Every structure is written in C-alpha cells, then in structure tokens.
C-alpha cells in the first residue's frame, strides 16, 4: 500500500488540496536532493512540454531528471519541437527505468501502454479520463482540462517559477494543439494559462514548428481523404487505403476535423497553401528530415 505524503484526505480517501501551491509542495516532498527522477511519456507536444516543465520544477530539488519516451517520434512537428526547443529526450530502450530512485508518468496513465503498466510511479499527472484509482504517492488527474500543459503551467506559477522562452513556447504550443485552438476542448483555466504563456513564448519558433506538421509525401493522403469523405450523423468517415504510418491517420483526422465545414474546393486550397509553406521553409525542413534520418 502506498503512503500519501504530507496531504490531507477526505472521508472517501481522496487527496485534498487547498491551492496549487499546496499541490506543488506535496509533490516536491516526495523527493530529496540525492533523488534521480525519470519522467516517462508517450511523445506528443503536450507530454513533451509537460515533462520539460517537470524537469524545470525539480531543477534545484533533485540530483537529476531525465525524460524517456516510448514508441517512435515520427511526426515532423514533434521532431521540430524537440530540436528547436532543445527538449532532452531519450528512448526508453536506451535507459534503465529501474535505475532511478523515482518515476513520474506525465500526460498518460499506466493502462495507456503495456510498457507503462510494467512500472510503479511516485507521481502521475494527466488530463485524460481516469479509469481507476492508481497506486502512486501523488496523483493529479483532471479530465476537464484541455491539456496537461495547463496543469504544469499552474504548477510553475504556484512555485513562483517564470518559464524560459523555450519552456513557455513548448507549453503554449501544447495547449494550442491539445485543444485544437480551443475548438475541441478546454476550460477557462486553459485559456488563462495560454494567455499567460503568450508573453514569454517565441512566435518565430512556434511558426516553424507548426509549419513542420506535414511531410510533402503525406499531402496525397489529404487529397484522398477529401475525395473519399462520407459525412453521416455520427461523424465523417474516409478510407485512405494502406498507409505507411498510423501518424498519417492522426494527421488526416485532424485535418478533416478542421475543414469539415468547408467544401472540397476550400479544403483543397488549404492543402495547396500547405504546399506553398513547404516551398518557403524548404531549407529548414530538409535539415529536420536529415536529423530524423
């Protein structure tokens, strides 16, 4: 049985917090100056930004913090974000998770992956729906939030930490993408932290990351999706045929969702505009692709 450290509980056994500062103090009490911490993620903008925020939060609290990811990083926007913002990630296969004194799971829960399920955690911080009570010393799961990055921005502010330009840009982009510019989800707290981060984020970096979202070879799938889309009461369906990566389906689904109110001509104009962007950023994108190889 896991012991909750420095927190109060309700009659139902749930952890009670009076403030964000209280949450941060409770989290930090789990660690000592000699602690080595591993943050585990499934890589996307929200998890990478949130993990980077955890690393900053623990900067002077522990001996060291590493960020390990499962799977592969294939989407160019994720690669661009990691490269431009200098997010220090390592593949989980290249580290020993059991060799760390503490582990934190961010923007995920153990049941999201068999790999995640194979470890125990000192802390779990997430915004996805909670399916059960997790056995960790510290658990903060808020399904109403649009992004885990919002939670982590609150933590930083609660700790009196002003984010660096790169951290602010990462968190800003994470909230932007996970809420689909607040078209998909998000609450007032997401908006509040989004506005706060704006003053520190680098818009030039943000633009470069956003323009790296698609590879040229994937544009044909967008045209296929538009040509084959079927709109029903339950949603929009489109058959792409065989695809080289599941990420293509994610990108196309996001694109279809953004253009669902457009006719085919308008949507095709979006594809053409994206192709023009590739021409403008060709030199930069080639460098990103070379790094991927």
pLDDT single digits (tens) 44-89: 999 999 999 999 999 999 999 999 999 988 777 888 899 899 999 9
pLDDT single digits (tens) 83-129: 899 999 999 999 999 999 999 999 999 999 999 999 999 999 999 99
- Rounded CA separation 207/85 (Å): 13
CATH number for the region 8-210 comes to 3.90.1640.10
Q: Which pLDDT score, from 0 to 100, does residue 241 have? A: 82
3-state secondary structure 48-117: HHHHHHHHHHCCCCCCEEEEEECCCCCCHHHHHHHHHCCCCEEEHHHCCHHHCCEEEEECCCHHHCHHHH
What φ, ψ does residue 122 adopt, rounded to 5°?
Answer: -85, -30
Q: Which pLDDT score, from 0 to 100, does residue 280 have? A: 58
Q: How many CA atoms lie within 13 A of 97 on its CB side?
A: 21
pLDDT single digits (tens) 143-202: 999 999 999 999 999 999 999 999 999 999 999 999 988 877 678 999 999 999 999 999
Tell me which of 279 and 65 has the higher pLDDT.
Answer: 65
Strand 136-141 vs strand 89-91: parallel, antiparallel, or unpaired? unpaired
Residue 29: CB atoms within 10 Å: 14
Tell me which of 27 and 293 has the higher pLDDT.
Answer: 27
Q: Which pLDDT score, from 0 to 100, does residue 211 have? A: 73
- Rounded CA separation 210/170 (Å): 12
| Domain map (residue ranges) of the chain | 8-210, 215-292
Q: Give exposure, 185-207, as e/b (b: 16+ Cβ within 10 Å).
A: ebeebbeebbebbeebbbeebbe
pLDDT single digits (tens) 238-251: 788 887 767 677 76
Q: Which pLDDT score, from 0 to 100, does residue 11 have? A: 43
pLDDT single digits (tens) 255-272: 666 666 666 677 666 666
């Amino acid at each position: 049985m896991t012991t909750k450290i420095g927190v109060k509980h309700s009659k139902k056994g749930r952890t009670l917090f009076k403030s964000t500062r209280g949450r941060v103090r409770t989290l930090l009490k789990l660690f000592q100056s000699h602690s080595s911490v591993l943050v585990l993620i499934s890589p996307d903008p929200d998890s990478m930004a949130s993990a980077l925020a955890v690393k900053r939060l623990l900067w002077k609290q522990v001996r060291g913090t590493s960020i390990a990811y499962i799977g592969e990083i294939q989407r160019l926007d994720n690669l661009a974000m990691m490269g431009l913002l200098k997010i220090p990630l390592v593949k989980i296969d290249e580290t020993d998770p059991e060799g760390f004194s503490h582990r934190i799971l961010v923007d995920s829960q153990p049941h999201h992956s068999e790999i995640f399920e194979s470890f125990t955690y000192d802390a779990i911080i997430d915004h996805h729906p909670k399916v059960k009570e997790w056995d960790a010393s510290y658990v903060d799961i808020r399904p109403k939030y649009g992004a885990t990055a919002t939670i982590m921005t609150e933590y930083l502010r609660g700790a009196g930490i002003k984010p660096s330009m790169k951290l602010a840009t990462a968190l800003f982009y994470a909230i932007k993408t996970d809420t689909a510019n607040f078209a998909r989800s998000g609450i007032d707290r997401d908006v509040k932290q989004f506005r706060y981060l704006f003053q520190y984020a680098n818009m030039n970096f943000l633009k470069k990351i956003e323009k790296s979202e698609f590879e040229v070879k994937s544009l044909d799938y967008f045209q296929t999706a538009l040509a084959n889309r079927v709109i029903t009461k339950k949603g929009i369906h489109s058959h792409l045929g065989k695809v080289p990566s599941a990420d293509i389906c994610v990108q196309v689904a996001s694109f279809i969702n953004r253009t669902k109110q457009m006719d085919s001509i308008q949507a095709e104009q979006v594809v053409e505009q994206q192709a023009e962007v590739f021409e403008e950023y060709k030199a930069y994108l080639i460098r990103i692709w070379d790094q991927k190889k």
